[in-house]
């Protein structure tokens, strides 16, 4: 009988070996792709024990899910077809019609659109709060409040809330705490170790790290993940075996990639903060950043994401045209650096007024810092800012 129970002491070892099949299947060092929709029947006692691809229980899924649960310090994990599948399934699995959520003020555009447009159709309402001011959260509570939904590092302003206070608040008020840990990754922060209930990821980003799949993940207690899995069986958001293969391959270098991206992003943020052409830099690793006190308290690193404003949309567009190393493209978390204006990508679905109210100016540039040599990145940004 194949087991997926391997685990080690250090994260850098676990991203390579945790959950690997034992014994190795036919002696293969790399787990093969199990491109089969169905499997021979055995002694199944429940529906979700039937071996079927939509039930996320192929060998491709089982090994990856075991590894994810280990590196995020959870009891169980579920891989999904996309980050949005993970986010929406996690919320809907823990909410019922008529429930109310608390969310932080700035969220990824897809999550925001789901809450605004689809939430009411499911009978859900929400109130956005400032994640850095816990003294204000009680005012937003209702008798029907069930969930507090947060992002470890917000998109695109890189805000870090008072996460310790959020856990205490949820425990005190019997709320389910769900946190999107995509930007921080388990290399920098593992929310379950600090008391959060459910962690979600867009694995398209750092966990895969090579910009070649779309996938998501949910990690938490066995009971929480089971609730999400039961819902996902009906929604059909299962990941395909080839995506699982690429996801597991990318995960093996997660620690190396993120450590380099942490270093590169801090160096680049410090450089940008000294440039006269830059109005504001958003990066929690900067001592002057409003989120630094929370991030420094909890994180092992400050992540590979930053954003900055030039004060003028035209200047921002000219910068995007001039840079040579970063690619002008949406998404993030790959080995290559990417630059984009959120007003034209992740938050395009919001009106200029809605974005401005959140502090997301149309001149804001978001940078996903890759693993290139930092000296060349800094030189390239400096040249583009100077208009060369």
Beta partners for residue 177, in sequence order = 148
Distance CA 95, CA 73 (A): 24
Sheet of 327-328, strands arranged across: 280-282, 305-309, 364-368, 338-340, 327-328
Is omega for the bond preceding 23 within 30 degrees of 0, making it cis? Answer: yes
Is residue 324 among the annotated active site residues? no
Pick the catalytic residue from 6, 51, 54, 275. 54
Task: Identify which of 309, 335, 339, 346 has the alpha carbon closest to the alpha carbon of residue 324.
Answer: 339
Pick the catalytic residue from 67, 146, 190, 205. 205
Give the Å distances, CA to CA, from 109 to 81, 87, 115, 143, 329: 18, 12, 10, 28, 16
Pick the catalytic residue from 4, 67, 108, 162. 108
Is residue 205 among the annotated active site residues? yes
Query: What are 267-273's contacts with CB under 8 Å, separation 24+?
Result: 267/374, 267/378, 268/306, 268/367, 268/369, 268/374, 268/377, 268/378, 268/381, 269/306, 271/378, 271/381, 271/382, 272/306, 272/308, 272/381
Distance CA 46, CA 138 (A): 42
Pick the catalytic residue from 99, 180, 197, 363. 180
What torsion do the CA atoms of 321, 326, 331, 336 make, to the nearest 10 degrees?
Answer: 160
Distance CA 95, CA 334 (A): 33
Active-site positions read 54, 108, 180, 205
């Amino acid at each position: 009988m194949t087991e997926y129970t391997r685990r080690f002491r250090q994260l850098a070892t676990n991203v390579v070996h945790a959950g690997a099949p034992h014994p190795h299947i036919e002696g293969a060092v790399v787990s093969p792709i199990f491109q089969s929709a169905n499997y021979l029947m055995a002694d199944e006692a429940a529906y979700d024990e039937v071996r079927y691809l939509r039930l996320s229980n192929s060998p491709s899924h089982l090994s990856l899910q075991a590894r994810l649960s280990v590196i995020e310090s959870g009891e169980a994990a579920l891989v999904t077809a996309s980050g949005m599948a993970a986010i929406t399934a996690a919320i809907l699995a823990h909410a019922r019609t008529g429930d109310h959520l608390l969310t932080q003020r700035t969220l990824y555009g897809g999550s925001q659109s789901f809450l605004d447009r689809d939430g009411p159709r499911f009978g859900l309402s929400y109130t956005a709060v400032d994640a850095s001011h816990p003294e204000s959260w009680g005012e937003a509570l209702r008798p029907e409040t069930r969930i507090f939904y947060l992002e470890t590092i917000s998109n695109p302003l890189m805000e870090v809330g008072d996460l310790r206070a959020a856990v205490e608040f949820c425990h005190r008020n019997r709320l389910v705490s769900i946190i999107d840990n995509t930007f921080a990754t388990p290399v920098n922060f593992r929310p379950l170790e600090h008391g959060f209930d459910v962690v979600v990821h867009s694995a398209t980003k750092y966990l895969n790290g090579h910009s070649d799949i779309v996938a998501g993940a949910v990690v938490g207690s066995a009971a929480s993940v089971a609730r999400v899995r039961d819902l996902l069986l009906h929604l059909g958001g299962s990941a395909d075996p080839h995506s699982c293969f690429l996801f597991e391959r990318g995960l093996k270098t997660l620690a190396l990639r993120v450590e380099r991206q942490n270093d590169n992003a801090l160096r680049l943020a410090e450089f940008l903060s000294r440039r006269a052409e830059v109005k504001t830099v958003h990066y929690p690793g900067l001592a002057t950043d409003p989120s630094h006190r929370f991030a420094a308290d909890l994180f092992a690193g400050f992540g590979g994401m930053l954003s900055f404003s030039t004060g003028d949309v035209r200047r921002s567009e000219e910068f995007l045209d001039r840079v040579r190393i970063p690619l002008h493209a949406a998404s993030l978390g790959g080995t290559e650096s990417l630059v984009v204006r959120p007003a034209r990508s992740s938050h395009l679905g919001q009106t200029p007024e809605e974005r401005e109210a959140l502090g997301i100016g149309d001149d804001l540039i978001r940078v996903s810092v890759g693993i290139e040599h930092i000296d060349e990145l800094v030189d390239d940004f400096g040249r583009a800012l100077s208009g060369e």
